[in-house]
Amino acid sequence: MFTLSHKAIAVEPLRQSLLRLDAGGFCSFEGWVRNHHLGRGVERLEYEAYAKLALTQGAAVLDAAQEQFDLLGVRAEHRIGELVPGELAVWVGVCSVHRDQAFEACRFIIDEIKATVPIWKHEFYTDRSNEWVDPTACHCDHRHVAETEVQT
């Protein structure tokens, strides 16, 4: 199940929803809001979603993971709205009989969510500028160039 949350993501209920007596390995990934990006201080950010399509596409990503890997459970939740550094942006959890499949599926799911689920990150920096993050504008692994608007 893929869900969107306007409130702080509660990790423990998500994790507990996956507990199974026949599972041996559980892998989770959490995306945390960092206080820096490309050398700039991040003060806060906003996630905007195309909610209806995000929910169907998120579910499709989890379905694809279940087809591709040997899993006993999958769950993901993405936060929407305004967040500050230290907050949880996205949670992915996977359980399986063995750890291989859990690790690989978890990695697959977060990569697919980032690339295909219609959610956008608007970063607000400590220098009062802000930017819609565009991962496709990378010049290399860790440098983005996108439209920067200085707040007036």
Work out whether 99 is an interface residue with its own copies (CB under 8 A).
yes
Kindly state whether residue 124 participates in binding its own copies, applying the rule CB under 8 A: no
Q: Please state, in angstroms and rounded to a whole number, the distance separating the CA atoms of residues 133 and 144.
A: 8
Nearer to other proteins, 75 or 121 (CB): 121
The set of residues, in sequence order, having a beta carbon less than 8 Å from that of 16 and lying 6+ positions away, is none
Q: Which of 25, 44, 60, 66 binds its own copies (CB under 8 A)?
A: 25
Length of the chain: 152
125 binds its own copies (CB under 8 A): no
Binding site residues, other proteins, CB under 8 A: 31, 47-50, 52-54, 56-57, 78, 89-90, 110, 113-122, 132-137, 146-147, 149
Euclidean distance between CA atoms 15 and 91, whole angstroms: 10
Inter-CA distances, 134 with 47, 119, 145, Å: 13, 11, 8
Q: Where are the alpha helices (DSSP H) in the chain?
A: 11-16, 51-68, 99-116
Contact between 128 and its own copies (CB under 8 A)? no
- Residue 36 C-beta: closest distance to other proteins, Å: 16
* Least spacing, CB of residue 23 vs other proteins, in Å: 14
What distance in Å separates the CA atoms of residue 97 and residue 132, rounded to the nearest whole number? Answer: 40
Residues binding its own copies (CB under 8 A): 11-12, 15, 19-36, 85-86, 95, 97-99, 102-103, 106-107, 110, 142
